[in-house]
Amino acid sequence: MKVDELFGVKGQVAIVTGAASGLGLAMAEGMAQNGATVLMIDIDPKTLEAAAAPLRAAGCKVETASLDVADTAALRGAIDTMAARHGKLDTVFANAGMSSGPGYGLKAGKTAGLLENVSPDTWERVLQVNLTAVLETMRAAVAHMKPRRSGRIVVTASIAGIRAETICGYAYVATKAAVINIVRQAAVELAPHNVLVNAIAPGVFLTNIAGGKLKTDAAVREEFLGLIPMGRIADANEIQGLALFLASPASSYLTGQVIAIDGGITAA
């Protein structure tokens, strides 16, 4: 098989949640620029349309839906509508997520990030977005993939779900660990149906998570840099290769895996 066929996604119908910025936007761009029809989902309509506009101007097939992924009915409605409109659903990136604030290991979080100071309200909201919404995204996608015996589900987890990461808040690490095991369990269930389920576990990327402090606060950025063997924070577009691989025929025998992309952090 030629390289462009092996790693190609042309003609696919794909959905990306949390697609207005950061890793989700990079995933959506990578798919759309390589010939997929992509539904970009995000909570902020203004930011979402601004992100989609350059792709449309470049001739990419991009659609948008502004909704809160914690609204299960709206989320399922958008997924069902996309699948019905195009007659199939090939790949879903369950990417939407949020920070729960700094962990106690960050200088900025030494008080707020302590176990006794976990906010119940924050905990519940992060669970809704990072865990329940991921499950509901997967559930909605599977309804369209199983009958066709074909599909890919890619969940954005985190290296904070693989090991203790004291720079991250408790709700964040808990939800990312949970989605990793959901990925593994779903992968085993869905393997006989040829629906492949995998997780990407990013390390430190330059995104808007944590209130965008990696972009705006030099002190926070330096703290994170000290964790990374490669000595730099990744650009969001560096997720595209792995995302395209997991959506393409090249990953046809890969399921139930959690792939860290972290500049060497988990190897150290």
pLDDT at 18: 98
Look up 170 and say whether it is catalytic.
no
* 37-42 sheet: strands from edge to edge: 61-66, 37-42, 13-17, 91-94, 151-156, 195-202, 258-261
The whole-angstrom separation of Cα 142 and Cα 148 is 10
Please choose, from the candidates 91, 28, 100, the residue with its C-alpha nearest in 3D space to the C-alpha of residue 65.
28
The residue from 104, 170, 172, 253 that is catalytic is: 172
Stated pTM of the model? 0.96
Name the pLDDT band for 224 (thresholds 50, 70, 90).
confident
Q: What angle do CA 99, 256, 239 make, to 5 degrees?
A: 50
Average pLDDT (169-179) is 97
Which of 127, 122, 106 lies closest to 114, judged by CA?
106
The pLDDT of 162-179, averaged and rounded, is 96
226: pLDDT confidence band, cut at 50, 70 and 90? confident
pLDDT tens, position by position, 36-84: 999 999 999 999 999 999 999 999 999 999 999 999 999 999 999 999 9
3-267 maps to which CATH number?
3.40.50.720
Condensed to tens digits (0 to 9), the pLDDT of residues 72-116 reads 999 999 999 999 999 999 999 999 999 999 899 888 667 889 999
